Structures are given as structure tokens and as C-alpha cells.
Amino acid sequence: MKSYVHATIASTFSWAGNIYDLLLMTYVYSYLEEAYHINFFSVSLLFSLGLLGRVVGGTIFGKFADVYGRKPILMLGTGLYALFQGLMAFSPDVLLLFVFRTLAGVFMGAQWTAGTVIAYEQAPNSIKGFVVGIVQAGYGIGYSLTGVTYLAFLPFMGMAWREFLLVGSLPLLLVPYMKFKVSEPGLGTAERVRVSYREYTSLLLKATLAMSGMFIAYFSIFANYVTIATMEGVPSSTLGLIMTIANILLAISFITFGRLADRVDKKKLIYFGLFAMLFFLPFAVPIVGQLRVIPLMLGSIVGYSFSTGFWPLMPLLLADSVPADIRGYLSGLSYNMGGFFGGIANIIIGILVSFFGIATLPKWADIFGISSLLLVLVSILTWPKSKANMRAIQV
């Protein structure tokens, strides 16, 4: 089996585990509130710490991955985010709960920084977009598995919510596979040149703006959708099934958009996805009484999820535009800064809900979702028309 296949498999499933662990807790907000005597704002903050920790992990370990290689950082990130997820499940007090969540986030950032890049770099040029799409499909796989797990635990969730969270430690099993099957062709020191980060500041800002918009658009909806749908009277079993279907389709969408990106202009695909998300959002999270029809809501959240499939094209645009010497650092920084602002937005939503009441949650989710999609649009409209100079600049 070719080396890029192993790299793609390892990256895809470690990314699936990453997302699984990030989102698993959204199903048990009420149990966390009861067990640790915290409110909705506190669980919103807890969720966001997973995103905020990614900034630290992506920045620090992105540089390490550029210097020491992608593989060791991929192994370290995967093993430790899974470990801290397991520890979080049985946190004896609220302080350790928050500490373990933050540390899990740090190593989630490390995993993404190394995983996507190692698969991208080893893939043949003719299928780089396709491979990145497969890796990012791990997002949909991971989220859909949270729905499957939720359905499996639903009959006894009240007694086993900690065990439900503990399942998130299973990605530890991927580390031996990475050790023995994933290779990483080294770049000889004679080939390495120093690169001026300053030359890529504008591109980094645009990529960060776009990734921030995507994270806010996604998490303002999906970090709160279990609560929103429950408020609208969606049965728990139906909700778990719909979340599973939506995210299986999201995985398919990632692969589809990635494959199309090898043949069609990436910006056009992003525009298509953006306008589709803007169309589905008001129906998926209705704030007008006439739109509060459960079948319409659930069908629209599936459409919203599928339309998100253009997301991998943003890191692909950046990876195409910068030299390998700084690819891990810039990709990790832009992606995880996007996660940081996504986390901040979710905290703000939690504060607003605390002030104005839980009934206002759909309104804030729509406002943040629509505004953030417009941020992505601005970023793509101002993206350079031609690729950035791929030649490393000697300093």
C-alpha cells in the first residue's frame, strides 16, 4: 500500500476522533450542569475551551511539525487528546473538568496541524484536493459517530453519561498504526531555506478570517442544535438519527467538494457552498413561527450540513499558496485561530442567552451564523487571483 494511503487513513480517523471528542459533550450539557452545579454559560465556556486550546496547540505544534516532522506530532496530538478526553469523563471536580478539556483542545490542535499536512504533502498532485477532502470527511464521520453513540447510550444515559464521554478515548488505538504504517519522507537540510513569514501575512489574515467565519457558522448552530431542536419538541431518538444522517452526508460532501476542487475553480465551489448555507440556515433554526415545522427544520439542518462540505477548500487554498517550510505553522495557526474565534462566539452566545433567556438561543444562533458566513464571503472575494509565490524567500 502506498505511503500516502496510510497517511490518509491515519489522518482521516485521527481527525474523526478529534471531532468526536470535541462535540461529544454537547449531548450531555444537562448532565454536566447537574453534576457540577454549573449553568448554560459555563457549559458553553467548557465547550469553547476545546476550541481555544486548539490555538495554542496549533501554533506551538505547527512549528514543531515544520521542524521535526508531521508524524511525531500527529502521534502525540492524537494520543494526548484522547487521553485527556478520558480523564475529563471522570473529573472529580469542576476545576479539573475545565483543565482536562483545555488540554484536550491543545492536542486536538496539534493533531489537525500535522494530520492534514502530512496527507496533503504525500498525495500525488493530481488528487491532492481529493485526499484533503477524504481527510476532512473525518469531520463528518466523527460527528455522525457521536449520534450513533448517543442512540446506543440513550436508554441509560442518566446513569452512564460519564461512560458515554469515556468512549472518546478510543482514538488512542490509532497511535500504534501511525507508528508502524505511516512514513514521512524527510526534507534534507541542504534543501531547506529560511522563509520570511512576513511575506505571507496578508494571506494568513484572509485565511484566518475565512476559517473564523466557518467555525462560527458551524458551531453557533451545531454546538447548540441539540438544545434548539429539543426546545422545538424534536424527540431525542429522532434527533440522534438526524445528526447521524446529516454528518454522514457531510463526510460525503467533503470528499465530493475535494474531488471537484481538482477540476473546478475552488472559489466557485466555495461560493456555491456559502449561498446554500445562507439559504438553509433560516429554515434549520427558525425564528419565525410559520417556519417552526419539525420536518422542515430537520431537512434544512441536513442541507446546511451538506453545504458545509466546501470547508476543506480553505486550508487547501492556503496549502497551495505557501512553501512547505511554513505550511504546518500557517495552516495550523489560521485554522486554530478560526477555532479560537469560533469559541469566543459561542461564549458570547452563552452570555447573551444567560441575559435574555434560553428562548432567545435560536435568534442568536441565526445572527451569528449569517454574519459569519458573510465574513467568509469577504475573505474569498479579496483572496489573491493567482497563487502566491511558492518559492521560499531567502533571508
Instruction: State the residue for C-alpha cell 431518538.
Output: 237
pLDDT digit of tens for each residue in the chain (395 aa)?
788 899 999 999 999 999 999 989 988 999 999 999 998 889 988 988 988 888 888 888 888 888 888 999 999 999 999 999 999 999 999 999 999 999 999 999 899 888 888 988 888 888 888 888 899 888 878 988 888 899 899 999 999 999 999 999 999 999 999 999 998 766 544 444 455 667 778 888 888 899 899 989 988 898 888 889 988 888 888 888 888 888 888 889 988 988 898 888 888 999 999 999 999 999 999 987 778 888 999 999 999 999 988 887 887 787 777 777 777 777 777 877 887 788 788 889 989 998 999 899 999 999 999 999 999 999 989 887 644 444 433 33
Q: How many residues does the chain have?
A: 395
> What 3-state DSSP class applies to 37?
coil
How is residue 179 written as a grid cell? 507508528
Instruction: State the residue for C-alpha cell 483543565.
Output: 99
| Contact between 310 and 255 (Cβ < 8 Å) | no
Instruction: State the residue for C-alpha cell 505571507.
Output: 200
| Contact between 210 and 316 (Cβ < 8 Å) | no
Domains annotated on the chain, with CATH: 3-178+197-381 (1.20.1250.20)
- Gap between the Cα atoms of 11 and 77, Å rounded: 11
Return the H-helix or E-strand segment holding 381. Answer: helix 361-381
